[in-house]
Structure 1
Amino acid sequence: MRAIGPRIPGLALILGAAGLIPFLWGVLVVQTGAMVPPGMADPRIAVLAYALMIYCFMAGCLWGFAAKGEWSAGYAISIAPILLFIALVVLGMPINFALMIGFVLLLPLDYIFARSGLAPGWWMKLRIGLTAVVIACLIALVRT
């Protein structure tokens, strides 16, 4: 059976999957208490800091797509995720929930850029899978 859509480049898939390691490690540490580095106060903080960096990176990708197409509206769309995150946190939402909402809402924005031809054809296939794992990990960190 042939895969649907363009094939995800091997290195993009490997690096994307490797980017999940800190999330998975965080869930393992929080759920089991194993593999906690000496002196680490709360592994949730490390995972949330990493999640915020990844979130900003993903939003930054949108800026790159907008620049590729010299699309003025795309620039505005690309900063929306960061503005949303800031607004949610300023309004008192816990960072983990703001990140969950943010990662979910990044997907339709990714789709807009993919549909316009500014993101690679394989982009959504990679993003949906990675986002599903990230959201599951963020939920697992909240539920403990």
Structure 2
Amino acid sequence: MRAIGPRIPGLALLLGVAGLIPFVWGVLVVQTGALLPPGMADPRVAVLAYALMIYCFMAGCLWGFAAKAEWSAGYALSIAPILFFIVFAVFGMPVNFVLLIGFVLLLPLDYVFARSGLAPCWWMKLRLGLTVVVVASLVALVRS
């Protein structure tokens, strides 16, 4: 069976999937109580801290795409996710919900950069798959 769309480079796929491990681990720990390291109080905190790092990393990728073309509007778009997070967190929205919504809202920005030719041709294929797992994990953490 032939894969749909452009081929994702092996290392990018491997690192992307490896980046999902903390999300999946967090859900497993919260849902089952297993795999909890001694002395760890709440695995949700660790997962949310990791999620925030990944969220900032994704915004940083957009900055890099904008820099590739020296695209002024792209710079503004690339900081929008961080401003979104700061505004909603400051106004008291729970961090897990801000991140959940933020990861979903990153996708249209990724699409803008991909459509403009600044992101690799395989970028959206990778981002969609990873985002589905991240969002599902954050939903599972919220619901538990």
Q: Please classify the TM superposition score into its range, dividing by the shorter chain length.
A: over 0.9
How far apart, in 2, do the equivalents of 1:117 and 1:102 lie? 23
> Which residue pairs with 2:36 in the alignment?
36
> Which residue pairs with 2:8 in the alignment?
8
How far apart, in 2, do the equivalents of 1:140 and 1:46 lie? 15
> Which residue pairs with 1:66 in the alignment?
66
Superposed displacement of residue 2, structure 1: 2.8
Letter in 2 for 1:10: G
Identity of aligned residues (%): 83
Superposed displacement of residue 6, structure 1: 1.3
Superposed displacement of residue 75, structure 1: 0.2
Normalising by structure 1, what TM-score? Answer: 0.98
Superposed displacement of residue 4, structure 1: 2.6
State how many pairs are aligned: 144
How far apart, in 2, do the equivalents of 1:83 and 1:121 lie? 27
SS at match of 1:93: coil
How far apart, in 1, do the equivalents of 2:5 and 2:136 lie? 25
How far apart, in 2, do the equivalents of 1:103 and 1:94 lie? 14
How far apart, in 1, do the equivalents of 2:82 and 2:114 lie? 20
How far apart, in 1, do the equivalents of 2:45 and 2:130 lie? 21
Superposed displacement of residue 91, structure 1: 1.2
How far apart, in 2, do the equivalents of 1:30 and 1:48 lie? 13
Please, what is the CA RMSD of the aligned residues? 0.6
Superposed displacement of residue 79, structure 1: 0.2
> Which residue pairs with 2:26 in the alignment?
26
How far apart, in 2, do the equivalents of 1:73 and 1:65 lie? 11
Which 4+ residue blocks in structure 1 deviate beyond 6 angstroms?
none
Structure 1: runs of 5 or more not aligned? none
Cα-to-partner distance string for 1:96-144 (whole Å, 9 max, x where unaligned)? 0000010000000000000000000000000000000000000000111
How far apart, in 2, do the equivalents of 1:136 and 1:117 lie? 29
How far apart, in 2, do the equivalents of 1:104 and 1:143 lie? 18
How far apart, in 1, do the equivalents of 2:143 and 2:83 lie? 27
Structure 2: runs of 5 or more not aligned? none
